[in-house]
Amino acid sequence: MSDYAALLKKKVRPDQLDAMVAAGLIDGPKAASPKLELVHDAGKPEAAFTFIDLFAGIGGLRLGFESIGGRCVFTSEWDKYSQKTYRANFPDDDHEINGDITKIEAADIPAHDVLLAGFPCQPFSIAGVSKKNSLNRPHGFEDKTQGTLFYDVARIIRHHRPAAFLLENVRNLVSHDKGRTFATIKDVLENDLGYRIKCRIVDGRSWVPQHRERIFIAGFREDSGFDFDAMPLPDKATAPRLGSILHPEDGSETPDQRFVVDNIGKVNQKYTLTNHLWTYLQNYAAKHKAAGNGFGFGLCGPDDVARTLSARYYKDGSEILIRQGDGVPRRLTPRECARLMGFDEARGASFTIPVSDTQAYRQFGNSVVVPVVKAVAEHMKGHILKAVRGQAPKAGVG
């Protein structure tokens, strides 16, 4: 065992070990030999840097960092339906999609420059905490099935010491358990792992017609002067409205026979609520309004901005209902959800949706707003490239 490894076992902070290596007091860590086979694809351009995609979902974080020249060398996602969508949209990968990250040894993950992780947010989200409280179940770090997955991120960072990372979660992570959860996360990243971190809550509203606040935690192994607050945001006053992502229903969109039908691309009738469900939602809203609560459906038109799309959207669509004249409203179609989350352009349909509507709603509701991640990645780009400058990006494996 090297001096570095022995001291790491004794929980000497990695940043202190790095300083000792730089001073020539001890040898540096030996690079782990991944068990996976090295792949050299001459047909692909050399990447500016490499990254891994943990809790990958359907690839929202990945799209942001590919847009600045990164190459994904490892993917982990446990849900088989999300794996199907991910695989359909990244068919040229030279690595498989790995499953449960808790069962993967850090040494079996390839070396990488940047780590991306949208670790599960249910233990910290407002809806998730409310549901668990009602069921008298633990949440946050007391949730043994999801809350502790942050520590799997930490153990991988500890082993590989990537130049940078980006973590994403719901805004409520900051205030969960009176701030103690977030304080613990920051303590692990800064004091245990020795990274310089900056955090920012960003609302997707500046890019898409949806209010969607998420916290992003950017970390750098070395102090690079990164300033998250300096990231510019588009003017919300000129941001798009819902009409930009809705099916036009005027013949300008090619009918796909799944979401839109007939010769002018009318939204499929199956997305219109039943009379029974619409009556229930109206009565439910009236009941809570009379009680002074804010619960109820969100009825929208082309000039409006939507509430946050959630993973439960498939149940009744209540948070974002689209007016249809004076009649019964409809849900967004999955294609409209893809546009609302920025996986597709406003009138685009390039993102492949190979799963059922129920699974598609879950996937988009659990995902990130892609243009937000692209903006964050662009803001981090210079600092990432500076961190890996002078050395080739770490090798990918298949």
> Model confidence over 115-139: pLDDT tens digits?
999 987 544 444 443 444 444 544 3
Section 269-277 average pLDDT? 97
pLDDT at 396 over 50: no
- Tell me, yes or no, whether 227 lies in a domain: yes
What confidence score (pLDDT) does residue 135 get?
40
SS3 for 304-365 is CCECCCCCCHHHHCCCCEECCCCCCCECCCHHHHHHHCCCCCCCCCCCCCCCCHHHHHHHHH
Q: Which residue has the higher pLDDT, 295 or 202?
A: 202
Sign of the CA dihedral running 250, 239, 61, 313: negative
CA distance to 64, 170, 189, 195, 310, per residue, from 164 (Å): 15, 21, 12, 9, 29
As a 3-state breakdown, the chain gives helix, strand, coil percent values, each rounded to 5, of 40, 15, 45
Query: What are the residues facing 270 on neighbouring strands?
Result: none
Question: Same structural domain for residues 158 and 16?
Answer: yes
As given in the structure block, the two tokens for residue 222 are: 């070395």
Torsion angles phi and psi, residue 201, rounded to 5: -90, 125
Percentage above 90 pLDDT, the chain:
69
Element (H, E) at 261: strand 260-261
Residues 8/14, Cβ–Cβ less than 8 Å: yes
Name residue 49's amino acid. Answer: F
Question: Same structural domain for residues 200 and 326?
Answer: no
- Tell me, yes or no, whether 257 lies in a domain: yes
* Structural domain span for residue 272: 242-365
Rounded CA gap, 105 and 214, in Å?
29
- Tell me, yes or no, whether 310 lies in a domain: yes
Rounded CA gap, 194 and 156, in Å?
14
What confidence score (pLDDT) does residue 309 get?
97
Question: Same structural domain for residues 227 and 269?
Answer: no
The radius of gyration computed from the CA coordinates of the chain, to the nearest angstrom, equals: 23
What confidence score (pLDDT) does residue 193 get?
94
The answer to which of 53-62, 142-151, 356-365 has the lowest mean pLDDT is 142-151
Question: Same structural domain for residues 336 and 353?
Answer: yes
Residues 164/219, Cβ–Cβ less than 8 Å: yes
- Tell me, yes or no, whether 393 lies in a domain: no
pLDDT at 31 over 60: no
Rounded CA gap, 252 and 246, in Å?
12
Collapsing DSSP to helix, strand or coil, 373 comes out as helix
pLDDT at 232 over 50: yes
pLDDT at 289 over 60: yes
Question: Same structural domain for residues 186 and 306?
Answer: no
Section 332-361 average pLDDT? 97
Question: Same structural domain for residues 208 and 349?
Answer: no
What confidence score (pLDDT) does residue 4 get?
53
Section 235-243 average pLDDT? 93
Section 219-232 average pLDDT? 96
Active-site residue set: 121
- Tell me, yes or no, whether 143 lies in a domain: yes
Q: What torsion, rounded to 10 degrees, do the Cα atoms 157, 100, 362, 248 define?
A: 70
The packing angle between helices 80-89 and 357-365, to 10°, is: 80
Planar angle of CA 127, 132, 136, nearest 5 degrees: 150
pTM over the 0.85 mark: no
Question: Same structural domain for residues 195 and 289?
Answer: no
Question: Same structural domain for residues 131 and 40?
Answer: yes
CA distance to 144, 163, 198, per residue, from 19 (Å): 35, 15, 22
pLDDT at 224 over 60: yes
Percentage above 70 pLDDT, the chain:
79
Name residue 103's amino acid. Answer: K
The answer to which of 33-47, 72-86, 100-114 has the lowest mean pLDDT is 33-47
Name residue 342's amino acid. Answer: G
Confidence of residue 203 (pLDDT cuts 50, 70, 90): very high
What confidence score (pLDDT) does residue 34 get?
39
Confidence of residue 46 (pLDDT cuts 50, 70, 90): confident
Rounded CA gap, 130 and 136, in Å?
10
The CATH number given to whatever domain includes residue 331 is: 3.90.120.10
| 241-255 burial code (b ≥16 CB/10 A, e <16) | ebeebbbeeeeebeb
What confidence score (pLDDT) does residue 341 get?
98
Question: Same structural domain for residues 217 and 267?
Answer: no
Section 204-221 average pLDDT? 97
Confidence of residue 105 (pLDDT cuts 50, 70, 90): very high
What confidence score (pLDDT) does residue 25 get?
62
- Tell me, yes or no, whether 301 lies in a domain: yes
What confidence score (pLDDT) does residue 181 get?
84
Rounded CA gap, 202 and 376, in Å?
10
Q: Is 94 exposed, middle or buried (0-12, 13-18, 19+ CB in 10 A)?
A: middle
Contacts of 217 (CB under 8 A, 6+ apart): 165, 166, 167, 168, 169, 185, 189, 197, 198, 199
What confidence score (pLDDT) does residue 18 get?
64
- Tell me, yes or no, whether 395 lies in a domain: no
Residues 89/370, Cβ–Cβ less than 8 Å: no
Both ends of the chain: CA-CA distance in Å? 28
Mean pLDDT of the chain: 85
What confidence score (pLDDT) does residue 124 get?
47
What confidence score (pLDDT) does residue 16 get?
66
Question: Same structural domain for residues 227 and 288?
Answer: no
Section 169-196 average pLDDT? 89
Collapsing DSSP to helix, strand or coil, 232 comes out as coil
Confidence of residue 389 (pLDDT cuts 50, 70, 90): confident
Confidence of residue 10 (pLDDT cuts 50, 70, 90): low
